[in-house]
Amino acid sequence: MDRVFIEDLRIQTVIGVYDWEREITQTISLDLEMGFDISAAAGSDDIADTLDYKAVAKRLIAFVESSEFQLVEALAHHCARIVLEEFPVTWLRLKLSKPGAVRGSSAVGVIIERGDRS
């Protein structure tokens, strides 16, 4: 399966369970691998035949910036659903990182997979 990816898409949002987290924005980072057959685009060299990763990124930025989830699990789930429902993607792997959330680590977060990998 071919994969189109977006790596380290950094977005500001309200995220967290503590009172102080509800009053500020924090940076989250998204890494996406999206299952998409690139053969038509490879043959035509036409953007109309491929997955527009800029459109995916812009949609996720708009969603995440306006969201106010408490848990990274919930935010990751909703981001995955948007990509699968709104773009011609059959499968995705999404890593959502929250940098600086735990002292001593560079980031914490979740990795989820959704869709059909065949």
Task: Estimate to the nearest angstrom the gap between the alpha carbon of 79 and the chain centroid.
Answer: 6
Please return the burial class of 118, using the count of CB atoms within 10 Å of its CB with bins 0-12, 13-18 and 19+: exposed
What is the token pair recorded at 20? 């102080």
Q: What share of the chain is helix, strand, coil (3-state, %, to 5)?
A: 35, 35, 30
Neighbours of 55 (CB within 10 A): 11
Catalytically annotated residues: 98
